[in-house]
Structure 1
Amino acid sequence: MNGKVLPDTPIAVDCWQLRKCHHVRLFFLSHMHADHTSGLSSTWSHRPIYCSPLTAKLLQLKLK
């Protein structure tokens, strides 16, 4: 998995494991490769996910 939490910030990029991201408030998805969405499923309801318009469309298809 390529997920990272930016040190000393409430920002995570491609990190969907909430145990590692308990203080995170802003979640970003860089793009729709499997290694960047590992752990992200249709049950995600914790916070909004910020991403590009194209990634958002692909994400909607993945989570159907």
Structure 2
Amino acid sequence: MLKAIAGLIGKRVGSVILEGTPIDHLPPNIRAQLGLAYIPEGRGIFRSLTVLENLTVSARMQPPRGEFGEGF
């Protein structure tokens, strides 16, 4: 279910709604920009940190919007 919410796999029934807005049609990269992310358990996490701390570290490691790819 979490992979479907993040847009990584299709869903069979139902809708994905974020803050009252359907996002079923949005690709995974746009969903990620809206704050949705799927993080598989045991990969790329710091075991000594809490879930919130791991998410905060991950968010800080992302390039600011609009800057990704400018050097390409």
**Shorter-chain TM-score category?**
under 0.3
| Structure label with greater radius of gyration | 2
User: So what's the TM-score if we normalise by structure 1?
Assistant: 0.22
User: So what's the TM-score if we normalise by structure 2?
Assistant: 0.21
Relative to its length, the structure with more helix (as a share) is 2
Relative to its length, the structure with more strand (as a share) is 1
Q: RCO (CA 8 Å, sep 6+): is it higher in 1 or 2? A: 1
